Amino acid sequence: LEAIDMITPFRSALYMTQAAVVETPDLIVIVDPCWLPDEVASIHQYVAALAADKPRYLLFTHSDFDHIIGYGAFAHESVNASVQACSAVQVISSQRMADKSASEQEAILEQIREFDDRYYIERDYPIMYPSVTIPVAQNGQQLAVGGTTLTFYLAPGHTDDGLMTIVEHICDSSNESIGVLIAGDYLSDVEFPYIYHSSEAYLNTLVQATRILEQHTITMLLPGHGNITCDHVEMRSRISNSEQYIHALRAEAAQNMNTANNEQWEEFLVNSRFPRHMRHYHEENQSLVAREQHPSRS
């Protein structure tokens, strides 16, 4: 078994969003099933055809609406847990995501309804906020089944409720370890950091990602948007690119520069993958970091 055999990626046509099903001899992990009805249905069909005797986990990397939009298609399986014990699905997220207040949850669900209305999308499952059965509260918390271990790290910064998960499997025959790092909306090769929560927390999460690469056997990185990579040089450069971007944002805000026509940023944005759209996220980042550093002015 190699990392590439362990994972079946389902890339959405939208925003290169990267759902996936990770299967080891011991368990199945369904990651952020999304976006469009046909895409969610194909993930659901794929999972339904897998061995029924393995424990199943539905993993949410964070609560952004695009990542939880498919939950309702899998929710009935957790409700029917007592009837069909073997196909019961446990739902994993950070404690913070599980603890979102009713109004926070409602705001996220409203974004889904808004999206579906805008594109006249009908779904054959209800729009629901994930009902979490395994909330992760501790860094390094683990869940072990047979030769497979899931290790969780809280990953705030993009949002306040991010979770990085490592699925490691030790092969019986070779005794070799393989591991997939499920990063959520970090370490993308397509998006620069989108900072909705805190630039400081984001930087700390990147430091933690470096530590994860050192302390775990990571043979594959699965980002929430963009391309999977098995190359450690690439993984490290994604971390340092993100760090450089955030340091530049923070330096700019600290120096209080007027950046409306900053040439360096212009070049950066023009060379980004989807400049017309990504410009907006960059500008939002600039205002968030400015607010962080000059709270009295907001």
Binding mask 250-279 for Zn ion (x = CB under 5 A): ------------------------------
Site for Zn ion in 204-233 (CB under 5 A): 224
Token pair of 129 as six digits = 């906020």
Residues 48-77 that bind Zn ion (CB under 5 A): 64, 66
Residue 55 or 193 with smaller CB distance to Zn ion:
193
Q: Is position 33 an interface residue for Zn ion (rule: CB under 5 A)?
A: no
In angstroms, give the least distance from the CB of 295 to Zn ion. Answer: 27
Contact between 185 and Zn ion per CB under 5 A: yes
Tokens of 87: 């196909």
Run of H or E including 30 = strand 28-31
CB atoms within 10 A of CB 39: 20
Residue number with CB closer to Zn ion (55 or 70): 70
Distance of closest approach, residue 191 Cβ to Zn ion, in angstroms: 8
9: which strand partners?
20
Q: Whose Cβ is closer to Zn ion: residue 12's or residue 24's?
A: 12
CA distance 150 to 170: 12
Helices (H), the chain: 3-6, 37-48, 65-68, 71-79, 95-98, 102-118, 199-215, 232-255, 263-270, 275-293
Instruction: CB nearer to Zn ion: give 33 or 55.
Output: 33
What is the maximum alpha-carbon separation in the chain? 62
| Count of chain residues binding Zn ion (CB under 5 A) | 4
Q: Summarize as ranges the residues that interact with Zn ion (CB under 5 A).
A: 64, 66, 185, 224
